[in-house]
Amino acid sequence: MTENDAHLRYQALKRMMESRAQELHQGLRALLSGPSDPVDVRDPEEWGRTSAEQDVDLTLMEMQADTCRRIDEALQRLENGTYGSCEECDEEIPAARLQALPFATLCRTCQELQEEAPLVERRALPIVWIDSPSQ
């Protein structure tokens, strides 16, 4: 890849990430502002549904805030010239992966190893049998 090709690729990625961050920020603002007219809850069933909807909204806000943070970090890496390099092995992250997941910090191999690690750690824990009460 020529230097000009790399520059064009990074500019396109930067625009895409900035656009996505802007969409997420707008979504967060909409969720934070809440409904335009507060709902008057009259019975327990309605209250439960409203509470569940608020839980979903809170989860969405947390996910969107995390994605915005990761995009901001990716933009910082782009500015620093470290964008597209795996944080573990320093190999170049493939363009297709960055297109699909623009804030990726690990190549696919390192990501898979990282995701497997907790499972391996859990498997290494001793099994403790708890006796059931006698009948």
Per the model's pLDDT, the better-predicted residue between 114 and 42 turns out to be: 114
pLDDT of residue 25: 75
The whole model's pTM is what?
Answer: 0.58
Q: pLDDT for 12-41, tens place per residue? A: 777 877 787 788 778 777 766 765 555 555
pLDDT of residue 135: 45
In this prediction, what percent of the chain has a pLDDT beyond 70? 68
How does DSSP assign the chain, residue by residue? --HHHHHHHHHHHHHHHHHHHHHHHHHHHHHHH--SS-----SHHHHHHHHHHHHHHHHHHHHHHHHHHHHHHHHHHHHHT-TTB-TTT-PBPPHHHHHHSTT--S-HHHHHHHHHHHHHHHHHSPP---PPPP-
In this prediction, what percent of the chain has a pLDDT beyond 90? 16
95 neighbors 9 (Cβ within 8 angstroms): yes
CATH 2.130.10.30 fits 3-34+53-123, yes or no: no
pLDDT of residue 17: 73
- The residues spanned by each domain of the chain are 3-34+53-123
pLDDT of residue 110: 93
Q: pLDDT for 64-79, tens place per residue? A: 888 888 888 888 888 8
